[in-house]
Amino acid sequence: MIISNDLILIGKKAKEAARKLAFTSTGAKNSALSAMAQALVDNQEEILSANSLDLQAAEEKGLRKSLINRLRLSPEAIMEMSNAIHEITKLPDPVGGGEFWTRPNGLRIQKTRVPLGVVAMIYEARPNVTVDAAVLCLKSGNACILRGGSEAIESNKALARIISDAVENSGLPQGSIQLIHKTEREYAAQLMRMNKYIDVIIPRGGEGLIKTVIENSTVPVIETGTGVCHAFVDKDADIAKAVSIVFNAKTQKPGVCNALETLLVHQDVAQNYLEIMGDKFKNGGVEIRGCDRVQDILDYAVPASEEDWGTEYLDLIISSKVVTDMEEALDHIYKYSTKHSEIIITENYSSAQRFLNEVDAAAVLVNASTRFTDGGRFGFGAEIGISTQKLHARGPMALPELTTIKYVIYGDGHIVE
Amino acid sequence: MIISNDLILIGKKAKEAARKLAFTSTGAKNSALSAMAQALVDNQEEILSANSLDLQAAEEKGLRKSLINRLRLSPEAIMEMSNAIHEITKLPDPVGGGEFWTRPNGLRIQKTRVPLGVVAMIYEARPNVTVDAAVLCLKSGNACILRGGSEAIESNKALARIISDAVENSGLPQGSIQLIHKTEREYAAQLMRMNKYIDVIIPRGGEGLIKTVIENSTVPVIETGTGVCHAFVDKDADIAKAVSIVFNAKTQKPGVCNALETLLVHQDVAQNYLEIMGDKFKNGGVEIRGCDRVQDILDYAVPASEEDWGTEYLDLIISSKVVTDMEEALDHIYKYSTKHSEIIITENYSSAQRFLNEVDAAAVLVNASTRFTDGGRFGFGAEIGISTQKLHARGPMALPELTTIKYVIYGDGHIVE
């Protein structure tokens, strides 16, 4: 694939910037972050007027209401972004620490945390990702290349210009933060082949985007995203907890990857539990797509098709199945899980332990909502995405996940015999 | 891409095996390993006769002597493999430990080490990789799919049958270790698209193989291999150390990735150092490809072309350049390094620190041979390869690098407000 000259230029600048950022002090990085936070507030007018161009174009194109809402910025949203950056300055620098040991021959080996280098983010129509990603990359000493969706291009251009100017004015290298202004698909495709300049690509967005990146990128990818999350209500569940947790996991914010999509219920408690749960879902406007046994108990449940079991609704819809025992629940999860977050609701110690051991997912929870799978709620202070792959990072990715290691070895004339 | 039925069957079996291996006890895994070690010794005749078929075919095809040597097994080599397995049983299990913390709301979060799942190895003509890879995967609770080169197919078939029988007879799941018997390229290509069944692919071999896997695999890859390793002899180098380390790094085992390929010499010591070093290289049969200034000092040095600076010779050849200062050395390394192992030889504290900080590589060493970049020499007890990428693992990869994490969360009816 031929890579266009402007992308190569961006790649070269990013690589040069990364070379310097790798040994920029925490103090200098935090000063730049504070400057970015201030610049967003100082340039609020410019951001909002760029944003209004995107909103206008979106209305004209007739985009969905939910998409337009994701696009929309406001003075409050800008203040929130700015405050979030100040919080990031308080987090520990993930770079520069590690462990070390001494070999019998006296060689001292340091396993040091260093930045990844150049991180490319490919995302969709949320302009706040432009700022989030740039901030987390900078704090961890990485240069970043940002490629947002065409719907948010004017907002992204304004945001990227403002924060990258602030970074340069703080004395950090030019090229630390770069936005690709061209939003044609071919540029994204070229980006995915820039192994010479990019160390990792993180796609953030819908299933289609992530699949495209995985299938086309020769640059290492961290897969984020899709969550077909299950709850298993065990025969020994506390029914009140089961109702409250399942309702929370499904409805508290249905459009996100850690929302619940499938409810599995042990047959011994199905009648009692589903009657209560069904009423609550009905009142909450949640559609239930059930197996035959669920439909027998809840007459307003509609039939679930085979496709439903693998669907991430991201909406007020839940699929539900009555299972004969935990074995069947485990098999169902094994078959349909995207390995994001899976919960069991039970008061039985051995059932809980078995579920935790045997279910393979980024997060497995007992008696807690899937919505807890989140960098902030885990106490990481920030999150660049939730990894659903197993290499490098799994689950919520925070600052340490934006670093790699370098072995630093102190010898005194050591040779291998 | 259409994936053949026999590969899908292998993938399914591996995935099923991985599901059970993930919570197989350390004791059970170690018993299986001991059984594998014993089975190799007990079936020595079968292994050697299979190996002789490969050797015969290699001779007939007129393969290079060095390749034939890599293929060759002997009773001693089999005993070594067997002993190495016993050593692996003594290493700590990388699975099942981790850290945990409690959130202000009482949620307890455990960051637990778990196996990756299914690991595929694609390698060339070394039959010992069949055993090495299987052993490290099993110890870390992973199922493995092995795909070796056609030159070693008979040896690999015998080895794989013997060790996988031993594993099954120990009560561990069938499918824990599987060799792909078909060696056509298309099967490797299909393997690289089996995201549904394989969690990671590790290619081991020459540059061509690794490049093919990186460019074609949609399954996450750990890049291993290529090492264009540099030594920089600083103006404040101890000349005796510089001679001994550089000679060791180049000649102790020239055919491996951590061997030295390029020698950069500060102009202030070039005359004195290169005269001594050159004599030693000349006596050791090492060809020197030098810049003009190297050729001025050593009349038997041949000219280095631009291509030489990027070449991994894996042979008794070294490229060499005189540099005006450390800046030029750092720039040269930045430009040509494959980020494997880079050394500085100096007695100057600040020069050493600068080099360690600014050079980006898996390993940077002061006053020690590049040959130390090795899992065994780092004290890891084993090694499945040396990663030259930044995601997941960098440098020598041992048992912990064959694991990922799973967050296990203990709640008591916790919901997100």
- B287, B296 contact by CB (below 8 A): no
Q: What chain B residue is nearest to A415 in terms of C-alpha separation?
A: B369
> What CA–CA distance (Å, rounded) separates B105 from A16?
44
Q: Which of A101, A214, A334 sits opposite B379 (nearest CB)?
A: A101
Q: How many CA atoms lie within 13 A of B371 on its CB side?
A: 21
CA nearest to B9, candidates B197, B268, B243:
B197
Q: How many CA atoms lie within 13 A of B136 on its CB side?
A: 26
pTM attached to this predicted model: 0.92
Percent of chain A's residues with pLDDT above 70: 100
- A274, A239 contact by CB (below 8 A): no
| Cα dist from B53 to B50, B60, B132, B281, whole Å | 5, 11, 22, 39
3-state class (DSSP) for residue A147: strand
Residue A323 C-alpha, separation from nearest chain B C-alpha, in angstroms: 21
The pLDDT, as a whole number, for residue B348 is: 98
Kindly calculate the radius of gyration of chain B based on its CA atoms and give it in whole angstroms. 24
The answer to whether the Cβ–Cβ distance between A391 and B116 falls below 8 Å is yes
- Specify the DSSP class assigned to residue A340: S
pLDDT tops 90 at residue A365: yes
ipTM score of complex: 0.93
Q: Which of B19, B114, B218 sits opposite A215 (nearest CB)?
A: B218
> What CA–CA distance (Å, rounded) separates B130 from B163?
10
Residue predicted with more confidence, A64 or B157: B157
Average pLDDT over residues A172-183: 95
The answer to whether the Cβ–Cβ distance between A214 and B218 falls below 8 Å is yes
- Specify the DSSP class assigned to residue A343: E
Domains delineated in chain A = 5-223+389-410 (3.40.605.10), 229-377 (3.40.309.10)
The answer to whether the Cβ–Cβ distance between B394 and A406 falls below 8 Å is yes
- B310, A196 contact by CB (below 8 A): no
Kindly calculate the radius of gyration of chain A based on its CA atoms and give it in whole angstroms. 24
Residue holding tokens 């001292």? A108
- A319, A261 contact by CB (below 8 A): yes
- B231, B262 contact by CB (below 8 A): yes
Find which of A350, A405, A406 to mutate to test the B interface (most B CBs within 10 Å of its CB): A406
CA angle B23, B27, B29 (to 5 degrees): 65
The span from the first CA to the last CA of chain B, in angstroms, equals: 46
| Orientation angle between helical segments B239-251 and B267-283, nearest 10 degrees | 50
The pLDDT, as a whole number, for residue A67 is: 85
CA nearest to A199, candidates B144, B226, B339, B166:
B339
Find which of B100, B360, B386 to mutate to test the A interface (most A CBs within 10 Å of its CB): B360
Q: What chain B residue is nearest to A106 in terms of C-alpha separation?
A: B368
What residues in A contact B116, CB-CB < 8 Å?
390-391
The answer to whether the Cβ–Cβ distance between A357 and B241 falls below 8 Å is no
- B284, B254 contact by CB (below 8 A): no
Which uninterrupted H or E stretch holds B38? helix B26-42
Find which of A348, A409, A410, A417 to mutate to test the B interface (most B CBs within 10 Å of its CB): A409
Residue A201 C-alpha, separation from nearest chain B C-alpha, in angstroms: 10
- A142, A115 contact by CB (below 8 A): yes
pLDDT tops 90 at residue A64: no
Q: Which of A389, A390, A409 sits opposite B363 (nearest CB)?
A: A409
The answer to whether the Cβ–Cβ distance between B363 and A334 falls below 8 Å is no
Q: What chain A residue is nearest to B407 in terms of C-alpha separation?
A: A363
pLDDT tops 90 at residue A207: no
3-state class (DSSP) for residue B191: helix
The answer to whether the Cβ–Cβ distance between A366 and B410 falls below 8 Å is yes
pLDDT tops 90 at residue A69: no
The answer to whether the Cβ–Cβ distance between B390 and A107 falls below 8 Å is no
3-state class (DSSP) for residue A332: helix
Find which of B406, B410, B412 to mutate to test the A interface (most A CBs within 10 Å of its CB): B406
Residue A97 C-alpha, separation from nearest chain B C-alpha, in angstroms: 13
The pLDDT, as a whole number, for residue A185 is: 86
The answer to whether the Cβ–Cβ distance between A411 and B379 falls below 8 Å is no
> What CA–CA distance (Å, rounded) separates B409 from A361?
12
The answer to whether the Cβ–Cβ distance between B409 and A215 falls below 8 Å is no
Q: What is the DSSP string of B193-250?
A: T-TTT-SEEEEES-HHHHHHHHHH--S-B--B----EEEEE-TT--HHHHHHHHHHHH
Tens of each residue's pLDDT in chain B, 417 residues: 899 999 999 999 999 999 999 999 999 999 999 999 999 999 999 999 999 999 999 999 998 888 898 899 999 999 999 999 999 999 999 999 999 999 999 999 999 999 999 999 999 888 999 999 999 999 999 999 999 999 999 999 999 999 999 999 999 999 999 999 998 888 999 999 999 999 999 998 888 888 899 889 999 999 887 899 999 999 999 999 999 999 999 999 998 899 999 999 999 999 999 999 999 999 999 999 999 999 999 999 999 999 999 999 999 999 999 999 999 999 999 999 999 999 999 999 999 999 999 999 999 999 999 999 999 999 998 889 999 989 999 999 999 999 999 999 999 999 999
The pLDDT, as a whole number, for residue A15 is: 96
The C-alpha torsion from B166 through B171 and B177 to B179, rounded to 10°, is 60
3-state class (DSSP) for residue A299: coil
- A119, A145 contact by CB (below 8 A): yes
The answer to whether the Cβ–Cβ distance between A389 and B238 falls below 8 Å is no
Residue A385 C-alpha, separation from nearest chain B C-alpha, in angstroms: 15
The pLDDT, as a whole number, for residue A175 is: 96
**Which residues have a Cβ under 8 Å from the Cβ of A173 and sit 6 or more positions away?**
A16, A17, A20, A21, A143
